[in-house]
Amino acid sequence: MSITNKLKRDHMCGELRKEDVGKTVTIMGWVAKARDLGGLIFIDLRDTTGICQIVVRDENPDIFKIAQGLKSEYVIGVRGVLFERESKNKNIPTGDVELIVEEIKVFDEAKTPPIYIKDDDNVSDEMRLKYRYLDLRKSNLQKNLKIRAKAAKIVRDYLDEYSFVEVETPFLNKPTPEGARDYLVPSRINKGKFYALPQSPQLMKQLLMVAGMDRYYQIVKCFRDEDLRANRQPEFTQIDMEMSFADQEDIMELNEGLLSRVFKEILDVDLPRPFPRMSYQDAMENYGSDKPDLRFGFLITDISEIVKDSEFKVFAAANEKGSSVRGINLGEYQKDFSRKKVDALEKFAKTHGAKGMAWIRVKEGEVQSPIAKFLSEKELEGICNAFGNNENDLILLISDKDSTVFETLSALRHEAASKLDLIDEKAMAVSWIVNFPMFEYDEEENRYVAKHHPFTMPMEEDLELLDQSPEKVRAKAYDIVINGDEIGGGSIRINNSSLQNEIFKLLKLSKEDIEEKFGFFVEALQYGTPPHGGLAYGFDRMCMLLTGSDNIKDVIAFPKTQSATDLLTNAPGSVNEIQLEELNLEINKINE
């Protein structure tokens, strides 16, 4: 029931201010809260801009009766005069004013929602995703999506200034090896054959450089069918770009400008330029990660040489190829770690693959450690000297394969900094990581695989190492890291078909595989390819930083769970037999 059908919105709820007092305005939205005080009904009306208090008096019985029937999440429109509030609410921007209702219309009624529409509710993730359209009514999520939209606009405006052309590349591509597992799409017309959804537009953007587009970008969906971890989604968004006749310095300088503008316009944060740079080797040696968090210390120290002849069997890794003994020093903070807390750190280390964790505490110059009795005086002195030989230290040591040592110590330094409240959540510690290895050895497949992707250009001075020592070849690759998250990465690409074929062969791709999977691309490289390179940002991760969120689902409108399911629509779902027959597919019986 309504008093009029002619209401037309002329203001948003969250825009009304004290200077608007006296105006007749019409606002529309959802009932966030209603309070009936007898002769007065106070209603908080919410839209995407905020909340405005409206007041319905019993002077008009018809309007008052409608207002008495309003419940949470009813959708209504009201028209009235704006007054200054006697009892002001300093917690909301519209807290100085209230709307005295003269006309009202109920657009739709609402059932009691299964989740509260408030930012600080404690509802489970499952419920939030199942009723995502209700979850998205919350102001914090709407704010996040607006920041995401603003960031995308800033990116587009910036790249337009630098003569980039936005080009859409296809979603239905040819399946290719390397990288993560593809999402496959069966073809109905070409029976028995499949498309693959793009993990990235890598080959297409390189072909655009071959085509002479010079500068390309797009904000694009990408897909990877892989085991999901926290803050990883099966479909994600990239800011993708490519430049012809550009070297690594050109691309890094342009992107420093891009990131600086995004962070300045959204957060009013000035990123330092030029951004600091760190080699991949230094990142791994000092931080245990190629995406180091630079907001705190606790750098890694290698003591393998000191303990290589030790009789302490736990340190035997010091003599094994590809293994080492390394540690971090919590220094003066040792007083904050009781024996119980140190034991908790050891348990934490084991969750990252370590077999155990040795520790040495130096308190006012006196050494305390359960492993001290297994070490010679020279070894113990050497270890303490390596970590600074301070009056107060707490040294945590891991002995294992390098990969395990690095992963564990990287996690330990972050865990310790977190426990000590040393991480400045408002800081933006940014760095380029450069000089990546071109290849890494995959023991399961018994072959080298590309560290980034097989289209990356090796360093010219390392080309002669391709045949004999591929593990020593460095790539013209670069990642941009902020606060321990890789938010972007790229490389200079191979623009020569002979070199590209050589890389494919080193990766043990047969001639038939190369022709089947990449024949079109290798042929394209034979028709005059400019030197080119590019970079792609993980736009979702960037938006997490911009919004201060620690959950990637908070910056994606309709995210999926860690099991790659959509609780809102119940995707993925089954298909009927007719559809399967059209696609020439048959489902094997699945054991429940």
d(CA 62, CA 76): 15
Give the 3-state secondary structure of residue 234.
coil
Give the 3-state secondary structure of residue 264.
helix
Cβ within 8 Å of residue 557, ≥6 positions away = 132, 136, 145
Distance of CA 440 to the CA centre of its chain: 24
**Region for 319 from its dihedrals, namely left if φ exceeds 0, alpha if ψ lies in -120 to 50, beta otherwise:** alpha
Evaluate if residue 230 carries a pLDDT over 80: no
Residue 397 · residue 325 · CB < 8 Å: yes
Residue 327 · residue 387 · CB < 8 Å: yes
Residue 328 — very low, low, confident or very high, per pLDDT cuts 50/70/90?
A: very high
Evaluate if residue 338 carries a pLDDT over 60: yes
Which of 125-129, 388-392, 403-407 is predicted with the least confidence, judged by mean pLDDT? Answer: 388-392
Q: Which of 41, 59, 148 is nearest to 102 (CA)?
A: 59
Q: What is the pLDDT of residue 3?
A: 45
User: DSSP letter at 111?
Assistant: P
Q: What is the pLDDT of residue 172?
A: 96
The owner of tokens 């006196």 is: 366
| Mean pLDDT across 413-417 | 97
Burial class (CB in 10 A: 0-12, 13-18, 19+), 443: exposed
Q: What is the pLDDT of residue 128?
A: 95
Q: Could you tell me the sign of the dihedral formed by the alpha carbons of 65, 67, 73, 74, in that order?
A: positive
* 131, 132, 141, 199, 336 from 556: Cα distances, Å: 14, 11, 9, 18, 39
| Mean pLDDT across 525-535 | 97
| Mean pLDDT across 72-80 | 97
The owner of tokens 């002479």 is: 212
Q: What is the pLDDT of residue 223?
A: 95
- What the block records as the tokens of 328 is 């971090």
Of 299 and 366, the one with more pLDDT: 299
Burial class (CB in 10 A: 0-12, 13-18, 19+), 72: middle
Which amino acid does the sequence have at 449?
Answer: V
| Mean pLDDT across 96-116 | 96
Evaluate if residue 564 carries a pLDDT over 60: yes
d(CA 363, CA 334): 8
**Max avg pLDDT among 304-318, 403-417, 500-514:** 403-417
* 185, 192, 513, 522, 527 from 518: Cα distances, Å: 19, 20, 8, 6, 15
Which of 380-389, 535-544, 580-589 is predicted with the least confidence, judged by mean pLDDT? Answer: 580-589
DSSP β-ladder status, 165-166 and 215-223: parallel
d(CA 433, CA 430): 10
| Mean pLDDT across 84-101 | 95
Burial class (CB in 10 A: 0-12, 13-18, 19+), 164: buried
Burial class (CB in 10 A: 0-12, 13-18, 19+), 5: exposed
d(CA 334, CA 342): 9
Give the 3-state secondary structure of residue 220.
strand
Of 304 and 447, the one with more pLDDT: 304
Evaluate if residue 592 carries a pLDDT over 90: no
Residue 560 · residue 225 · CB < 8 Å: no
| Mean pLDDT across 244-260 | 98
| Mean pLDDT across 240-246 | 98
Which of 1-5, 128-132, 167-171, 349-353 is predicted with the least confidence, judged by mean pLDDT? Answer: 1-5
Residue 1 — very low, low, confident or very high, per pLDDT cuts 50/70/90?
A: very low
DSSP β-ladder status, 447-450 and 477-482: unpaired
Q: What is the pLDDT of residue 513?
A: 87
d(CA 234, CA 561): 9
| Mean pLDDT across 199-220 | 97
Residue 73 · residue 30 · CB < 8 Å: yes
Give the 3-state secondary structure of residue 305.
helix
Q: What is the pLDDT of residue 5?
A: 58
| Mean pLDDT across 56-72 | 95
Residue 319 — very low, low, confident or very high, per pLDDT cuts 50/70/90?
A: confident
Q: What is the pLDDT of residue 2?
A: 44
Residue 227 — very low, low, confident or very high, per pLDDT cuts 50/70/90?
A: confident
Q: Which of 328, 285, 540 is nearest to 414 (CA)?
A: 328
